[in-house]
Amino acid sequence: MKGKSISAGAVSNKRTAFMAVLLAVLCFAIDAAAGGEPTRDGLVEYIGAQKNMFETGRAEGVMELRFFQGKDNIYAVGPAALLDGEVTLLNSKPYVAKVRGNDYQVDNTLNHAVLFLVWSHVPRWKDIPVPESVKTCAQLQKFVKDQAAASGMDVSKPIPFQVSGTPAEIVWHINCDRTENQPITRELFAKSKATYTMKNEPVDIIGFYSERHGGIFISEYAPGIKPGSGDKNTVHMHLVSRSTKATGHIDDITFGKGVTLRLPAQ
């Protein structure tokens, strides 16, 4: 009885298919080891941590934004992998800003990785007018906490929020790698930013409040909190302009009239 002969081409095709499967498995394992599973805390989920960058000296990605493909009502902020940009999701629409030359580009696809990310699924928001007495980042932090507590939210857990309106001034940045291939330190991280200023420009701001996640998704780099003031940074905020392409991480802000805070509707 004669056995079936197998052509060299068939063997080659099987080997190629096997290697492709093996590579996919290995890539998945590497991604899982690097980023792990998202952590849920109250209304918020997050993955990665800013402090990991200083511990390892590297800014590798922990998750692909394609994770959010097909998911509605997602609000998220975080830095892009490799210190190459800022990532914002506003109602599931991505705004990924990256410095290129003397300008920056904004991409609205999910084809990007993040260094760390914090996000929340919020189907409905309730509006709260921000009084004119709230002018600074420190005052906003207190206002968010007070209003969340008054709404019956557990302020010991992270809280997503939005702010909309036309602030008098916003100082903001986009991460851009200026480490010259050196291990990342706090000093090099602070240096690796392209900083911009806008005045009287209508924006939507996506923010996350927490007193327990410093070095994770609450940045230690917070120019809006003045040294020696006794205040501690408890927010991570990104802006999306309504009139220009501007989008990125908020360093400092001065509020004006007619600003609205939005908290998740319970």
Give pLDDT tens digits for 96-123.
999 999 999 999 999 999 999 999 999 9
Mean predicted lDDT score pLDDT of the chain: 90
| 125 vs 12: which has the higher pLDDT | 125
Query: Which of 87, 79, 91 minimizes the C-alpha distance to 120?
Result: 91
**Reduced to 3 states, what is the DSSP secondary structure of residue 16?**
helix
CB count within 10 Å of CB 168 equals 15
d(CA 153, CA 177): 38
Beta-bridged to residue 44, according to DSSP, are 41
DSSP 230-252: S----EEEEEEESSSS-EEEEEE
Q: How confident is the model at residue 15 (pLDDT cuts 50, 70, 90)?
A: low
Q: What burial class does residue 248 get, using C-beta atoms within 10 Å of its C-beta: 0-12 exposed, 13-18 middle, 19+ buried?
A: buried
Per the document, the length of the chain is 266
pLDDT computed for residue 230 by the predictor? 84
> Domains in the chain, please, with CATH?
37-266 (3.30.1330.80)
Q: How confident is the model at residue 34 (pLDDT cuts 50, 70, 90)?
A: very low
> How remote is the C-alpha of 127 from its chain's centroid?
23
